[in-house]
C-alpha cells in the first residue's frame, strides 16, 4: 500500500476543513445518524425522505471546482441487480420493502460520494459518530434502566443504549473507533474514552476482538514508518507476515483458544447452526439467489425451511458474505466483490491522506465484521459507507478551494 505515516495523515486532517461544511456533507452526516437510529419508527420515516433531500442537494448550483462526476459501473450494476431480483424473489413484498431501504441509503450515499472528497466524507461521518456518542451517553445517564436492559432471549447481558441490540452498539463502537483514530480534534481522547466505555458495556465479544485486531493493524502500519532503510522495512514486514501466518494456523488448528478468550463456544453463539442451511439454500439458488430481502421473514418459504433445520428463528445469516450470496446469487456477489475489491485497490494506490487511509481501513473493518454479522454488507451504515467511499474514490477533482474543503 503506497501510503505514508498515519500520524502525518492525521496531522494534515487537522487543517483540512475548518469552514462551514458543504450541503452534501450535512446530508451525509444526517443520513448516518438516521441509519444508526433506524430502530426508532420516526428515524426510518426520515430515512425514506433522504433521497428527496439528496436530489435537492444535487440540483443546487455546483461548487466552484472542475470535476467529472461518475458512479462506478459495479455500483450501478449491484443496485440494478438488487432491483431486478424482485422478479424472482421468494418474498416479493419483503423485497419491495428492502428495496425502499436500499434506495433510502444509496441515493444520499451516491450524491455525497459525487460531491465530496474522501476527507470531507470522513469528516461528515466523524461528526455523525460524535452525535451518536453524545446521544448514547446521554441515554445511559438519563435512562440507565432502559439503556442497559438485557436483550430478550440473549444469553449474555449487555448495554444497547439507543441501539436495538448489544451487538449493534458493539458494531457502532467499532465503527466509531476507526473514525476517531483519524480525528485531529482537541477532544478526540474524550470521544475515544466514551467509545471504550460503551464497547465494554455492550459486552460484544465480536466487536471487542475486532477493535483489538484493527488497533493492532493500525499501529503496525504506523510502526513500519520507523524503518528508513528499505531492506529493514522489508525484513520487518516479512517477520510480521510470518507471525500472522503462525497465528492464523494456530487458531485454525485450535479454534477454542479464541472462543475461550472471549467467552464464546465453538458454535459462535449459534451462528454455525444457521450457516449450514444457508449454504444449502445458496447451492439450490446459486446463480440469482432468493431476491434482495426475499428471506428472513416468516412469509418466505425458504426462511421457514432454514428455521426448521437450524431449530431456531434467525433474522439474518450472521455472515455478510453468505447473506449476499443467498439473496443475490453469484451474480450479485460478484458485483459486490468488484465494488469492495476495486475500491480497496484504488485506495491502496492513492497518496497518503487521512481520507484515503480512513476509507481503506474502514472497508477492512467492514470485511472482518461481516464474518459474523450480515449488516456490514446488506443494510444500514455498512452498505452506505461502502457505496459512498466507492463513489468518492473514483471522482476526478481539481486542486481548487472546494476540493480542499472550502465552501462552494
CB 68 within 8 A of CB 396: yes
Rounded to whole angstroms, how far apart are CA atoms 330 and 316? 18
Q: Where are the domains of the chain?
A: 6-224+262-396
- Per residue in 143-176, pLDDT (tens digit) is 888 888 776 656 566 788 888 788 888 899 999 9
Identify the pLDDT of residue 191: 95
pLDDT over threshold 70, residue 396: yes
67 — phi, psi (to 5°)?
-160, 155
**Residue whose grid cell is 451525509:** 28
Give the orientation angle of helix 380-393 with respect to helix 354-369, to 10 degrees: 140
Strand partners, 397: 67
Q: Establish how many alpha carbons lie within 13 A of residue 103's alpha carbon, considering only the half-sphere containing its beta carbon.
A: 16
Rounded to whole angstroms, how far apart are CA atoms 145 and 208? 23
**Residue whose grid cell is 480525528:** 183
**Residue 28: helix, strand or coil by DSSP?**
helix
CB 146 within 8 A of CB 139: yes
Candidates 222, 132, 129; CA nearest to 180 is 129
Identify the pLDDT of residue 12: 41
Instruction: Give the predicted TM-score (pTM) of the model.
Output: 0.82
Q: State how far Cα 287 lies from the chain centre.
A: 26
Q: Establish how many alpha carbons lie within 13 A of residue 228's alpha carbon, considering only the half-sphere containing its beta carbon.
A: 0
- Per residue in 284-299, pLDDT (tens digit) is 999 999 999 999 999 9
Look up residue 261 and give its three cell numbers: 478468550
Rounded to whole angstroms, how far apart are CA atoms 196 and 174? 9
| Band (241; pLDDT cuts 50, 70, 90) | low
Average pLDDT, the chain: 81
pLDDT over threshold 90, residue 78: yes
Give the orientation angle of helix 188-202 with respect to helix 166-181, to 10 degrees: 160
- Per residue in 6-28, pLDDT (tens digit) is 334 444 444 333 445 789 999 99
Rounded to whole angstroms, how far apart are CA atoms 210 and 204? 10
Amino acid at each position: 500500500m503506497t501510503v505514508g505515516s498515519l500520524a502525518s495523515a492525521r496531522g494534515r486532517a487537522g487543517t483540512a476543513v475548518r469552514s462551514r461544511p458543504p450541503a452534501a456533507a450535512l446530508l451525509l452526516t444526517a443520513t448516518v445518524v438516521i441509519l444508526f437510529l433506524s430502530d426508532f419508527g420516526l428515524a426510518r420515516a426520515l430515512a425514506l425522505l433522504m433521497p428527496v433531500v439528496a436530489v435537492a442537494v444535487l440540483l443546487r448550483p455546483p461548487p466552484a471546482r472542475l470535476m467529472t462526476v461518475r458512479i462506478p459501473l459495479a455500483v450501478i450494476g449491484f443496485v440494478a441487480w438488487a432491483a431486478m431480483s424482485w422478479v424472482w424473489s421468494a418474498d416479493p413484498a419483503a423485497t419491495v420493502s428492502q428495496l425502499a431501504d436500499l434506495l433510502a441509503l444509496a441515493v444520499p450515499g451516491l450524491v455525497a460520494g459525487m460531491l465530496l472528497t474522501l476527507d470531507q466524507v470522513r469528516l461528515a461521518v466523524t461528526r455523525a459518530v460524535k452525535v451518536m456518542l453524545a446521544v448514547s451517553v446521554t441515554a445511559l445517564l438519563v435512562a440507565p434502566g432502559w439503556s442497559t436492559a438485557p436483550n430478550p432471549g440473549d444469553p449474555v447481558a449487555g448495554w444497547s443504549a439507543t441501539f436495538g441490540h448489544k451487538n449493534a452498539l458493539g458494531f457502532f463502537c467499532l465503527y466509531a473507533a476507526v473514525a476517531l483514530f483519524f480525528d485531529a480534534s482537541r477532544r478526540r481522547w474524550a470521544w475515544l474514552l466514551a467509545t471504550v466505555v460503551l464497547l465494554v458495556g455492550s459486552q460484544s465479544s465480536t466487536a471487542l476482538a475486532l477493535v483489538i485486531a484493527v488497533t493492532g493493524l493500525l499501529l503496525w502500519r504506523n510502526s513500519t514508518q520507523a524503518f528508513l532503510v528499505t531492506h529493514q522495512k522489508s525484513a520487518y514486514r516479512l517477520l510480521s507476515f510470518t507471525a500472522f501466518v503462525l497465528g492464523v494456523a494456530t487458531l485454525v488448528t485450535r479454534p477454542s483458544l479464541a472462543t475461550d478468550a472471549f467467552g464464546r463456544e465453538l458454535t459462535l453463539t449459534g451462528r454455525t447452526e444457521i450457516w449450514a442451511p444457508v449454504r444449502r439454500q445458496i447451492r439450490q439458488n446459486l446463480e440469482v439467489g432468493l431476491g434482495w430481502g426475499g428471506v428472513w421473514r416468516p412469509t418466505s418459504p425458504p426462511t421457514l425451511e432454514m428455521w426448521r433445520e437450524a431449530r431456531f428463528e434467525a433474522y439474518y445469516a450472521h455472515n455478510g458474505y453468505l447473506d449476499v450470496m443467498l439473496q443475490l446469487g453469484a451474480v450479485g456477489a460478484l458485483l459486490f466483490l468488484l465494488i469492495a475489491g476495486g475500491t480497496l485497490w484504488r485506495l491502496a494506490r492513492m497518496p497518503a491522506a487521512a481520507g484515503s487511509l480512513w476509507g481503506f481501513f474502514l472497508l477492512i473493518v467492514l470485511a472482518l465484521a461481516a464474518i459474523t454479522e450480515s449488516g456490514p454488507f446488506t443494510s444500514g451504515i455498512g452498505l452506505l459507507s461502502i457505496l459512498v467511499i466507492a463513489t468518492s474514490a473514483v471522482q476526478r477533482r481539481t486542486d481548487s478551494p472546494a476540493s480542499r474543503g472550502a465552501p462552494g
